[in-house]
Structure 1
Amino acid sequence: MDRIRIVGGNELNGSIPISGAKNAALPLMIASLLTDGTLSLDNVPHLADVEQLTRILGNHGVDYSVNGRREAQGSAYARTMNFTARNIVDTTAPYELVSKMRASFWVIGPLVARMGQARVSLPGGCAIGTRPVDLFIDGLRALGAEIDIDVGYVDARAPKGLIGNRYVFPKVSVGATHVLMMAATLAKGETVLENAAREPEVVNLAECLNAMGAKVSGAGTPTIVIDGVAALSGATHPVIPDRIETGTYAMAVAMTGGDVILEGARADLLEAALEAIEQAGTEVIRLDNGIRVRRKGGVIRPVDITTAPFPGFPTDLQAQFMGLMTRAQGRSHITETIFENRFMHVQELARLGARITLAGQTAIVDGVERLRGAPVMATDLRASVSLVIGGLAAEGETIVNRIYHLDRGFERLEEKLSGCGAIVERLSE
């Protein structure tokens, strides 16, 4: 099993190209099930989750092709992937596939909308919380689907098609917003989704659906209106730059010091996180086609943050910001409101010398003068990269184990960091 070795103490200087967003690419790929035309997606990152979803879509009969590798500045690359669901050969998503990636459950919306039926395995639990699918089921029922749950599978049927309706999400859910928005594009009549997620990835999906011929308005606000159409066509659409990768590298620069341009990053996708980084004493300069992050001298100041749905501070950057706060001069409070069990990185950061105590949903971080390298274990995708941030500033060598988590969401992380002066390498057994 691969590991990452980090020797801390180097500033980061240079540039890092920001990849396409995993959290945007996955629902866009699933949207290909809505049409028999070809959906071409630009700027698709090369990640384990993307490869896994490609296999899952292939199980349903989706053909795909990749338009080579387009070299970007630096050594990261983007791809154009083409998905064609001309013939859906199977409307069942089996447990052995869905259990490997929760987002694969989202195929239930497009399948029942286009084919009138879907049988999808329940995804089960998750390392950072249960994340139940009741909102997906309730929302599809509101659109007229008949749904039964039988021996671990959700059976959804709408033989005469879905019917537009009003649905109020009892709590904000990005995944459920994706699914119901996709399903409603082929429903008869108007669908109104209230208390919908406002995340940039939802907007990116809505723009893609409209390029395919859907009639979606209001994405990015709490109320999304979808006028159903009889059929969708193929389209070409770009994946937005990854705001979580952007924030992660910005925090890495804030941790180590240095001066890095994050090429292609969009500040408007993560203003709450950038403001927190600025409050911590790092300069953030918003450019026309990227973000410059600079800390030349000066201390890391403590900052209190609370995670919240967009436009609030992203839960997917909570672990990374905690890593930054371990070196702050003073005490900070980090409150997690989105997922339970999302503090599993605390004990691993403590192995590097961090001083963190937990009080319910809040982590109290007392900054220390220095961290020391040690072997650590990644527990989930975002927690794993918080350990990388800690290791970049730690004295000596840090070995991050179980980095298959990192490969799910960060494209060529060690190459991007080493290109800016970090001593980071992958160790393969």
Structure 2
Amino acid sequence: MTKKMIINGGHRLVGDVTIGGAKNSTVALIPAAILADTPVQFDSVPDIADVYNLQIILDSMNVDSKFEHSVLDINPTEIQEAALPSTAIKSLRASYYFMGALLGRFGRATVTFPGGDNIGPRPIDQHIKGFKALGAEVEEKDDTIFITTGPEGLHGARIFLDLVSVGATINIILAAVKAPGQTIIENAAREPEIIDIATFLNNMGAKIRGAGTDVIRIEGVPYLASRATHTIIPDRIEAGTYLSLAAAVGDGITVHNIIPEHLESFTSKMIEMGVDLKIDEDQIYVPKTDTFTPISVKTSPYPGFATDLQQPLTAALLLAGGESKIIDTIYPKRVKHIVELRRLGADIASEVEGVITVNESRNLVGGSVKAAEIRAGAALMIAGLLADGQTVIHGADHILRGYDRVVWKLTQLTADVEIIDDED
């Protein structure tokens, strides 16, 4: 049964919130764990639906996992090749990391086309290009991808990505980390989550250099052994969401467990809006802000403004005194939150693909809306907290996919919010 979030909004929030481990690291680290020749342990794992779905996929391969109190133990030593459960695969797009991980572990992989958020085209052609360069053959048939290698197996290769792709960069790393020879990925994505995954693999004996730059070099190794618990980096998207929330409805909120350098493109825009952020080494204090300046935002690959943060910030921009513009160059079709925000009284539109116009809308009224994907759900959540009266967000399952213990955290900030089964 699907879930709905009920928010009784219209009052200010205050307090402290602590950010969990990065979702976008976690959903790649879990598939990466099957490359290990020993049990592995992750700490700071977010309590989100995607983790449980990935555990279902691990279980289908006889990989034991245990998740409690933010610690995830995975034992891949008895792994067996098996058909992966299509329901779990289709529930999250990041399941495609099993392509690279299985290819690196067994030299072959069969994976159903992944699902996840519907935010426009996200092709996997660069992933396939990388696999082929490493010596694999790829066939697509009936929504399933079959990847095989000959008796020689995989080998190192030089791969130039035609466009910057986080998913392709990570998948190629996973496939190449045990492939004999040197692999060079050029025009690689530079996201902090890629550094996190490379750190995990390197601590097990991998030889990956250049993560965080646009050229990554990998020397294949035959064996990977975990030596210590890997602590996942803080989630910069969750952090940006709570910073947006704090600016919009906060009377003074401190966001803890942050790496400020990961958020510079975002916090610079908040400062431009007129929010007097107090940025410390690992936390940011957001004071009550009464007046906001309209701004223009353009998304771009890291270290630019993250596409995943355009929607949460949109809700805060409804308070700016004038017209703001958001241009999403990554996913120009990522506009499913607009019609829903309008149901709450927002003056917002997207008449040109990829361009969102946000006008001051301080008198939102609660209503019934639907979250079409994770970050759209975050925007509706913030708008619901802003709106007078009760807001019901259907499709709250999406929010649970991306936000660690969201009801508990909001309640700690004095929000009146709950998630229940949706009977509709």
Under a length normalisation based on structure 1, what TM-score does the superposition of the two structures give?
0.94
Closer/same/farther in 2, CA of residues 327 and 170 from structure 1, 3 Å limit: same
Q: 1:277 maps to what in 2?
A: 270
- State the Cα distance separating 1:38 from its structure 2 match: 1.0
Relative to structure 1, the CA distance from residue 44 to residue 304 in structure 2 (aligned partners, 3 Å threshold; closer, same or farther) is same
Structure 1 residue matching 2:184: 3-state secondary structure: strand
Paired position in structure 2 for 1:211? 203
For the 8 Å contact 2:92–2:115, the answer to whether it is kept is no
Does the 8 Å CA contact 2:66/2:72 hold for their aligned counterparts?
yes
Q: Distance in 1 between matches of 2:87 and 2:249?
A: 41
How many Å separate the matches in 1 of 2:61 and 2:405? 30
1:34-60 CA distance string (max 9 Å, x none):
122111111111110000001101112
Please show how residues 18-167 of structure 1 align to structure 2 within 5 Å. Answer: 18-66=19-67, 68-69=68-69, 79-123=70-114, 126-158=117-149, 159-167=151-159
Counterparts in 2 of 1:152 and 1:396: CA distance versus 1, 3 Å: closer
Residue 428 (structure 1) shift? 3.9
Cα deviation for residue 299 of structure 1 reads 0.7
AA of the residue aligned to 1:135: Q
1:150-229 correspondence runs (5 A): 150-158=141-149, 159-229=151-221
| 1:218 alignment partner AA | G
Q: How far apart, CA to CA, are the structure 2 residues paired with 1:105 and 1:353?
A: 38
Say if 2:242 is the partner of 1:257: no
Q: Distance in 1 between matches of 2:298 and 2:119?
A: 17
Do the aligned residues in 2 keep the contact of 1:378 with 1:384 (CA within 8 Å)? yes
Aligned position for 1:73: none
1:402 maps to 395
Letter in 2 for 1:25: T
SS at match of 1:270: helix
* Partner of residue 345 from structure 1, selected from 299, 320, 337: 337
Q: For 1:124 and 1:393, locate their aligned partners in 2 and report how far apart those are by CA, in whole Å.
A: 31
Query: What is the number of equivalent residue pairs in this alignment?
Result: 418
Q: Does 1:306 align with 2:298?
A: yes
The 1-side partners of 2:88 and 2:46 are apart by 21
Task: Please name the residue that 1:76 is paired with.
Answer: none
1:317 is aligned, of 299, 304, 309, to: 309
Q: In the TM superposition, what whole-angstrom CA distance separates every residue of 1:77-101 from its partner, at most 9, and x where no partner exists?
A: xx11111111331254353332122
Secondary structure of the 2:277 match is strand
Question: What letter corresponds to residue 19 of structure 2 in structure 1?
Answer: I
Runs of 5+ unmatched residues, structure 2: none
Q: How much has 1:190 moved relative to structure 2?
A: 0.7
1:28 alignment partner AA: L
Question: 1:242: how far off?
Answer: 0.8
TM-superposed deviation, 1:124: 5.8
CA distance in 1 between partners of 2:246 and 2:107 (Å): 50
Name the amino acid aligned to 1:401: H
Correspondence 1:381 to 2:374? yes
Q: Deviation per CA, 1:112-143: give whole Å up to 9, x if none.
A: 22212111112268511131111111100001
Superposition RMSD on alpha carbons, in Å? 1.6
* Cα distance in 2 for residues equivalent to 1:427 and 1:104: 27
Q: Give CA-to-partner distance per residue, 1:263-289, whole Å, 9 cap, x none.
A: 111111111111111111112122233
CA distance in 2, matches of 1:222, 1:169: 10
Q: Which residue in the other structure is 1:364 paired with?
A: 357
Report the 3-state secondary structure (helix = DSSP H, G, I; strand = E; otherwise coil) of the residue aligned with 2:399.
Answer: helix
Counterpart amino acid of residue 18 in structure 2 = P
Amino acid in the other structure paired with 2:49:
A
**Aligned AA for 1:27?**
A
Deviations 1:151-179 (A, max 9, x none): 32221122422111110111111111111
Work out the CA distance in 1 between the residues paired with 2:119 and 2:62. Answer: 32
Q: Which deviations, in whole Å up to 9, do the C-alpha atoms of 1:310-358 show, x marking residues without a partner?
A: 1111111111111111221000100111114210100000011111121
SS of residue paired to 2:119: coil
1:290 to 283, 305, 309: 283
CA distance, structure 2, for counterparts of residue 197 and residue 188 of structure 1: 23
8 Å Cα contact 2:117-2:373 kept in structure 1: no
Unaligned runs of 5+ in 1: 70-78
Aligned partners of 2:407 and 2:225: how far apart in 1?
A: 39
In the alignment, the residues of structure 1 paired with residue 27 and residue 115 of structure 2 have an alpha-carbon distance, to the nearest angstrom, of 19
Letter in 2 for 1:413: V
- Compared with structure 1, are the counterparts of its residues 238 and 315 closer, same or farther at alpha carbon in structure 2 (3 Å cutoff)? same
Q: TM-score, normalised by structure 2?
A: 0.95
Deviation track 1:359-390 (CA, whole Å, cap 9, x = no partner) reads 22101111123211111111111001101111
SS of residue paired to 1:424:
strand
The structural deviation recorded for 1:102 is 1.5
Instruction: Give how far 1:254 is off.
Output: 0.8
